[in-house]
Every structure is written in C-alpha cells, then in structure tokens.
A and B are shown apart, each in its own frame.
Chain A
Amino acid sequence: MYSSLSDDSAKTPTVTRRQFVQIGALGAGVLLGTPHLWAQQASQPSPPPKPKTNIDDALKVARTKYSLPGPFPGKVVHVQDAQATVDGRIVPSAVERMFARGLQELTGQNSSESFNLLFTKDDVVGIKVNPAGAGIISTRPEVVDVVIAWLLGNGLPKQNIIIWDRFDMMLKDAGYTPERFPGIKIEGLQTMVEKLPEGDNADHSAWLDKDGNHISAGNFDRDVYYWADVDGPKDLPYLNQHVFNGKYSYFGKLVTQKLTKIINIPVFKNTGNGVSMATKNLGYGAICNTNRLHTPLFFDVCTEVLAFPALRDKLVLNIIDGLRGQYEGGPMPAAQFVYDYNSLFLATDPFAADSVGHELMVQKRKEMGIKVNEHPRYTEYLRYAERLGLGVVDPAKVQVRHV
C-alpha cells in the first residue's frame, strides 16, 4: 500500500504520503488484500480448506470477572438523536447526552457506578478508535471527548488514558493529535515510511534497522501471538505495512503489557456483505501481519483474536460511533454511501453489538436498494463467538434497547 510506482517529475515534499493515502477515495485503510492469495482463489474452482490456528491456546486460559462478554451479554443500547449532527457538524452537547443516556441504559446505574463496574482508578485505559477513512467515515473525536470526560470525571488520571490504533499516521490524519487531546497519550502500534524508497540503491533505514527488522518490531509482543497456518507475502511493501510476514501475528505490547482495560470505539460501516464495526476494529487492529489472514480467515479473525486474554479480559466497553454510517463500499471510505445516522451503540459484548449492527446494516442496504446477500457465512463468526462463550448473538437472546 505504501510502496508504489511514481513519476519523479511530479514529486514534491509538500504533501506527505499519509495525506495522500488519507484522502484517496479508495486509498485509506489498514487491510490490504493479498495479491498471490487473491490470484489463487480467483482461479480455483473451489477454495482451499480453512487453515489451522492457535485458537485452542487462547481458550485454555482461565477467564476473569472482566472477560467477554462482560456483565451484559447480549445487551445493546442504541441511542439516536437527530440533533447530534447539524449541517454535517457534530454537536458535542448532543453526543454527551447520548453517551450518558446510553451508558445508564446499558448498566442500569449512574455515571459513577457504571465507571466502578468496569474500571478501577488505577486502570490504564486504551481507547481504540478507527481512524481509517478520515474525513469520511472514521471515529469522531467528539465521541472520544465525552468518553475521556467520563473517565476523568470519575477519577481516572489523565496519564492513564491512551488513544490508540495500529497505525500512528492514521491517528493523526483522523484528528488524534496532542494538540487536539492535550495531556492524553496517543499511540500507534506501528509506524511505516510514507513513501517506500525505490531503486537499486534505495535507503530503507527509515523503517528497516540494520538487521533487516522493521523499526516497529519491538512494539509487538513475541510471546503473545495469533498463529495461523498461512504465510504473509515476503516483499518490502508488505513488510513496511505489516512489520512481520511469517505465520505469526503478534499482539502489540501496548495491548499486552501497558493497557489494563480497553474501550473500543469503531464506526458503523459495512465490509462487503458483512460489517466492520466492533470486532473487526480490534481483530485486525491489535495485531500485525494481518493481510495474509484476509482471504482464508477474514471474519474468523474477528472472533479468534478477541478470544485471546489480551483482549478478552480487557475489553470492557464498546461504543459504535454511528453518528455517520456507511452502508456500501466499505471497508474503504465511499462518500456516496455515507449518511448521517446520529446514533451511538453501547455494549459490553462486542459480538452482540456487531450482531445488532449487522441487522441494521442489512435493513439500511435494502432500504437504499443495495443488493443484499444474507448468506450465513457473513455472520457465522458471530455464532462462532457465541459457541466460544465470548458473546451472545442469538436473536432470541439479544436485547436491543432503542432510546
């Protein structure tokens, strides 16, 4: 993604690669397809069997009182306020009211009690946003503002809050900067060069160290990984973006060693016939070397990665930012399919949240005349999560509160 052919005559230093990627209508995003895997699948009459993974390792670890699906399995609160967006601009006071209302409806307790239910004042809380598609469909800073205010208001020290994503430059593109959030740490799990050097004598020292390792390799925990029996491509563009390219997708040390709790704030958008909301934001956002997983394990990753204790036992709250929604063209930003939805969804159970989000997305797609493929393969990962005890997605058990 970040290596490309270019016309030297047109190069200027005035616009960075990340800006270039950010505003590309189709260019922003974390998850690349895998060329060689794509070519294989496209030409085969039937797909290869699903590769093995180390999910059993995750399931062996004893659960804690904070483990998914948290204190409210299957419960999702949908707060909608038509006044949350006026002329395309977010109204912070409306978002604040929506969050407070939704939290109370979720927990049945007031702000302080809700905080104490999910956190202690010693926690280090990571707020996972989805900055891909900045400007069109990304987590709005106004939503993060009210969450931070809630945490601070209940005694969590400012230095114990970290806004994070996998890619540092995407955070900046989406407005997550020290200037916008003074005193709050902002961390990407990895960096990358904005323009991959080209040519026989290209200098890659900006992202490869002298041993040939990505400079962000140290940000990932070699002891905590999602293993899948499928290799990542062995080329520099892939390595630049994915840090590693074997069969191991390491969790970020931020997640495994620094954070004690996680609040997940994804966006409300589709990814093909499925959704890219709560579970994909973490499933593909907390580990490296993900490209290889796309074709053979796409949605399974959203379940299996969240089964690992680094996420399972720390993710305590999901808030889907549906102030805007995107019903087609996802996961990439596609402006023609974006609409003001003026919604927030709150849940401790990310699989229930995605289950509800999926149903609403299907409704919206039908309403907008999009062909909808409702094959169960696009929601099987949710049922898989229920079988693993990570969430509740059975429509007969899911409770949706619309307020």
Chain B
Amino acid sequence: MCNWMPKAARTFGLALAVLPALTLAACRPPSAPPMIAAAADSTPPATSSAPTPQRESIEPQWTEVERRQFVGQDLFNHIDGAAEVFLEMGFREVLVRLYSNGQAKLVHEVYEMKDPTAARGIYLRFRGRGTPVAGVSGRNFGNRYQIGAQKDRYFVQITDASGRGESLSTMTRLVNQALAAIPHDGDVPLLDLLPAEGLVPNSEVIVCGPYSLQSVFTLGEGDILQLQGQRCGIAGDYVTEQEDSFTRLIVPYGSAAAAGTAFQHLLHGLDSELQVLRRNEHTAVFREKNGQFGSITARDDKLDIRLHLVRDPGLASQPKVP
C-alpha cells in the first residue's frame, strides 16, 4: 500500500507537479532502492511577536541584510541537534536577523518560548558556567564570539563567528536593545525549589522531558519522569559536608497522587544500570553502576531525586523536601 503522501502534498503547488513520478517511485518494491519521494510541507508564515530593535538604532554602518522566522517544528529548518531540546522546553518561534557592515557579520536570534521557565531552561543550558559580558544590562553570558541573554519568555543570542572582537560593542548594544524591548521579566518559581544551601552556583538545569533529562542522568527510557510535555523539574549540583557532592533533581507534579504515580512509573522503568537496594511506599534507594548511590522520594506533590551520592542514604535518612 502506497500511503506516504502527506496532507502537505495537497497544499503545495510543486508537490502536485512532481507527484506522478514520485508516487511511482515511492511505490517500488523494497527490494529495489527507491527513487526519491518528495512531497512538500509548508508552514504558513506567522507574524513574529519577538521584540525587534528599531532599525535606526543600529549603527549606520551595519545593515540588516536578511531576516528569517521559524515557527514551531519549523525550528528543525534552522538548527540541528538542539531543536529537540528547544521544542521539548516549549519553543514558539525564533526571529533571526543577519547584520553586515561589509566586513563582519552578526547573527541576531530572538527565541520566543512558551513562558519564562522555558526561556530560562534554554538560557541555563547554553550559559553553562559562562560569565556576563561587561556592558550588557540583564541576565547574560558570553564573550567576543557570542552573547546570550534571557528575559521573560525570550532567549536572545548574538553571534560573531569570527570572534575578532571588533564587533563586541555592537553585539552588546543589540542585546541591550532586545532586552529593553521586553517590558518586564517573568518569575521562574521552579528555581526556588532547589534549596540554596550547598547549591553550586550556575549548576541549575531545567528538565522538561527526555532530551533535557539526558544531560543530567539516565533514569530510564522515554518519558520516565512522566513530564508529559507539561511539567518541568529542576536539577542542581550540591556540595555539602554531609554528602560531599551530589546532584539533586526535584519535579513538582501538582498533586500527591500524580507524584505517587510518577514514583511508581519511575521505579517500574528504572534503567537497568541502576540496582534498587531497598524501597518502601514512597522512597527507593539504588546503586549506580559506578558504585555511587541514588534515591527517589515521593513526598507531597514532588519527586525528590538524588544522584551520585557517595554514601548509601538509607530509607530513613531522606531529608525533607522544602
């Protein structure tokens, strides 16, 4: 059955022109390498709501020479390996502008996410331990190659791939203009879930699904935390006198019942590299492959997961979730 023609093929002129040949090609038996099977997909343009600096506010030697906009899953047409994480976090659209002064080029990207938490998640991911750039007013990191900043539900990034530094002042100005065009910042309550004591500065990572969880730990396959594209958790590294260093991941579920269900789901699908040592109704302790320990606790409406513990925490020693 040759049923590959997507609905997009019905909406794009070119696809109609090539469909007869392509249909034949696509229906060739699998024993012979098929010819191409092209059918077009088109996403209707959308009007960007991204904050846009006024053209005249850019130094006259710089000209905006190209502008592009990517909406929703069209992001795959702009970036590669990171598109999944953006989408998982709640990507809405990005406005990309290319500036040139005849010698250097700057790429100005404004990513609009669904909310400040999503934007902060992207920001934290790209910031790493990066440090702020002098002259940029607001939450930012960067160097002469690239400046990243975040405010409200926007993540702003300016890049000079040459890294020569001559454009840094213009990059700084563009970032400041973009941030100034965003009227107010938004709260990210998720960040407050991590206790401040012992938290390693700049180690926070927001987890909203399997892709963003990958950078923290492998707990299991698929949507092992039952985030369901609707919830996010927060991870951070800790150094304490009691536990040396460890990583903590806290996920709020909105209700104790949902947290309990997530706890059961997690234990049921726990990665085969992790050996459960003991468990009760709300807590499980496991050993990691490298001999370190981890624990999972369901309390109130949250899961509190600790990783890379040097010592076996035992079932009774779980600190209270704030």
Chain A residues proximal to chain B, CB less than 8 Å: 1-7, 9-12, 14-15, 19-20, 22-27, 29-35, 38-39, 41-47, 88, 134-136, 198-202, 204, 208, 211-214, 217, 222, 225, 231, 233-237, 239, 243-248, 250, 271-273, 328-338, 368-371, 373-377
Chain B residues whose C-beta falls within 8 Å of the C-beta of A374 in the assembled complex: 290
Taking A20-B66, A42-B229, A244-B36 as contacts, is the C-beta distance between A2 and B215 under 8 angstroms? no
Q: What is the number of contacts between chain A and chain B, taking CB atoms within 8 Å?
A: 275
> In the complex, which residues 78-129 of chain B have their Cβ closer than 8 Å to any Cβ of chain A?
78-84, 87-88, 96-98, 100, 105-107, 109, 126-129
- Asked if B270 lies at the interface with its beta carbon under 8 angstroms from chain A, I say no
Across the interface, which residues of B come within 8 angstroms of A35, CB to CB? Answer: 73, 76
Q: B235 — which chain A residues lie within 8 A by C-beta?
A: 371
For this complex, 16 residue pairs linking A to B, each with C-beta atoms less than 8 Å apart, are: A5-B74, A12-B66, A15-B65, A15-B105, A26-B78, A35-B76, A38-B83, A42-B229, A47-B221, A198-B42, A208-B38, A212-B21, A234-B37, A330-B81, A336-B126, A337-B128
List B contacts of A375 (CB < 8 A): 217-218, 271, 273
B-chain residues with CB within 8 Å of residue A234 when the two chains form the complex: 4-6, 9, 26, 37-39
**B interface residues with partner A (beta carbon < 8 Å):** 4-6, 8-9, 12-15, 18, 21-22, 25-26, 30, 33-43, 45-46, 64-71, 73-74, 76-84, 87-88, 96-98, 100, 105-107, 109, 126-130, 141-143, 145-146, 148, 157, 159-163, 200, 202-203, 205, 209-211, 214-218, 221-224, 226, 228-229, 235, 237, 247, 265, 269, 271, 273, 289-290
Say yes or no: B14 contacts A236, CB within 8 Å: yes
Chain A residue at smallest Cβ distance from B4: A234
Query: Is chain A's interface secondary structure helix, strand, loop, or mixed overall?
Result: loop
Residue pair B162, A135 in contact (C-beta under 8 Å):
yes
Closest to A45 in B: B222
Whether the pair B38, A237 counts as a contact (CB closer than 8 A) is: no
Instruction: Assess whether A335 is in contact with B146, with CB atoms less than 8 Å apart.
Output: yes
When the two chains form the complex, which single residue of B26, B128, B146, B269 contacts A369, counting CB atoms closer than 8 Å?
B128
Question: Are A246 and B76 also in contact (CB < 8 A) when A27-B107, A336-B148 are?
Answer: no
Does B77 contact A222, Cβ atoms closer than 8 Å?
no
Cα distance, A134 to B98, chains bound together (Å): 16
Does A239 lie within 8 Å of B36, measured CB to CB? yes
Q: Known: A46-B222, A202-B14, A371-B203. Contact between A5 and B45, CB under 8 A?
A: yes
- Complex Cα–Cα for A329 and B218 (A): 18
**A43 in contact with B14 (CB, 8 Å):** no
In contact, B128 and A5 (Cβ under 8 angstroms): no
Given known A-B contacts A373-B214, A373-B215, A5 and B38 have beta carbons under 8 A apart: no
Q: Which of A4, A202, A244 lies at the interface centre, i.e. has the most chain B CB atoms within 10 A of its CB?
A: A4
CB distance from A366 to the nearest CB of B (A): 11
Q: From residue A242, how far is it (CB to closest CB) to chain B in Å?
A: 9
A27–B247 CB distance below 8 A: no
- Which of A22, A33, A235, A245 lies in contact with B80, CB distance below 8 A? A33
List the A side residues contacting B217 at CB < 8 Å. 373, 375
Q: Given the complex of chains A and B, what is the CA–CA distance between A225 and B32 in angstroms?
A: 11
Partner of B82, one of A22, A26, A136: A26
Identify the 5 closest CB pairs spanning chains A and B, nearest first: A335-B145, A135-B161, A10-B67, A212-B18, A235-B41
Q: Is the CB of B214 within 8 A of A272?
A: yes
Cα(A199)–Cα(B13), bound, Å? 8
For A44, list chain B residues within 8 Å (CB): 222-223
- Please, which residues of chain A bring their CB within 8 A of the CB of B81? 29, 31, 33, 271-272, 330-332
In the complex formed, the residue of A with least CB distance to B81 is: A331
CB of A266 to closest CB in B, whole Å: 16
Cβ-closest chain A residue relative to B95:
A7
**How distant is the Cα of A25 from the Cα of B273 in the complex, in angstroms?**
36
**Chain B residue with the shortest CB-CB distance to A247:** B30
Give the distance in Å from the alpha carbon of A250 to the alpha carbon of B148 in the complex. Answer: 39
Which one of B6, B39, B127, B290 has the highest number of Cβ atoms from chain A below 10 Å of its Cβ? B39
CB closest residue in chain A, given B83: A33
**In contact, B34 and A5 (Cβ under 8 angstroms):** no
Known: A24-B109, A332-B82, A368-B128. A245 touches B77 (CB 8 A): no
Cross-chain contact B21 with A334 (CB below 8 angstroms):
no
B114 → A minimal CB distance (Å): 15
Query: How far, in angstroms, from A202 to B146 measured CA to CA in the complex?
Result: 35
Q: In the complex, what distance in Å separates the CA atom of A247 from the CA atom of B81?
A: 21
Chain B residues positioned under 8 Å from A212 (CB to CB): 18, 21-22, 25, 36, 38
Q: How far is the CB of A29 from chain B (nearest CB, A)?
A: 4
Complex alpha-carbon distance, A237 and B98, angstroms: 21
Please give, as numbers and ranges, the residues of chain A lying within 8 Å of B36 by CB-CB distance.
Answer: 212-214, 217, 239, 243-246
In the complex, which residue of chain A has the Cβ closest to the Cβ of B8?
Answer: A235
In the complex, which residues of chain A have a beta carbon less than 8 angstroms from the beta carbon of B83? Answer: 32-33, 38
Q: How far is the CB of B68 from the nearest CB of chain A, in Å?
A: 5
Q: In chain A, what residue has the closest Cβ to B67?
A: A10
Chain A residues with Cβ below 8 Å from B290 are 374
Q: Hey, which chain B residues are within 8 Å of A88, CB to CB?
A: 163
Can you name the residue of chain A whose Cβ is closest to the Cβ of B222? A46
What are the residues of chain B within 8 A of A23 when measuring CB–CB? 98, 105-107, 159-161
Q: Give Cα distance in the complex from A213 to B209, angstroms.
A: 38
Q: Is the CB of A336 within 8 A of B78?
A: no
Q: Which residue of A lies closest to B129 (CB)?
A: A369
Q: How far is the CB of A7 from chain B (nearest CB, A)?
A: 5
With A1-B76, A244-B34 known, 8 other A-B pairs at CB within 8 A are: A10-B67, A25-B157, A27-B79, A198-B42, A204-B14, A332-B80, A336-B146, A338-B145
Within the complex, the shortest CB–CB distance from B251 to chain A, in Å, comes to 16
Name the distance in Å between A372's Cβ and chain B's nearest Cβ. Answer: 9
Whether B96 pairs with A24 at a CB distance below 8 angstroms is yes
Given contacts A212-B21, A272-B214, A373-B215, contact A43 B130 (CB under 8 A): no
Chain A residues with CB under 8 Å of B226's CB are 45
Nearest residue, chain A, Cβ from B265: A45
Q: How far is the CA of A47 from the CA of B228 in the complex (A)?
A: 14
Question: Residue of B at shortest CB range from A13?
Answer: B65
Query: CB-nearest residue of chain A relative to B215?
Result: A371
Residues from chain A with Cβ under 8 Å of B146 in the complex = 25, 334-336
Tell me, rounded to whole Å, the shortest Cβ–Cβ distance linking B154 to chain A.
15
Taking A212-B36, A373-B215 as contacts, is the C-beta distance between A38 and B68 under 8 angstroms? no
Q: Report chain A residues within 8 Å CB of B18.
A: 208, 212
Most buried by A among B15, B35, B43, B128: B128
* Bound-state Cα–Cα, A376 to B218, Å: 10
User: A369 to B38, Cβ gap below 8 A?
Assistant: no
> Are A335 and B143 in contact, with the CB atoms below 8 A?
yes
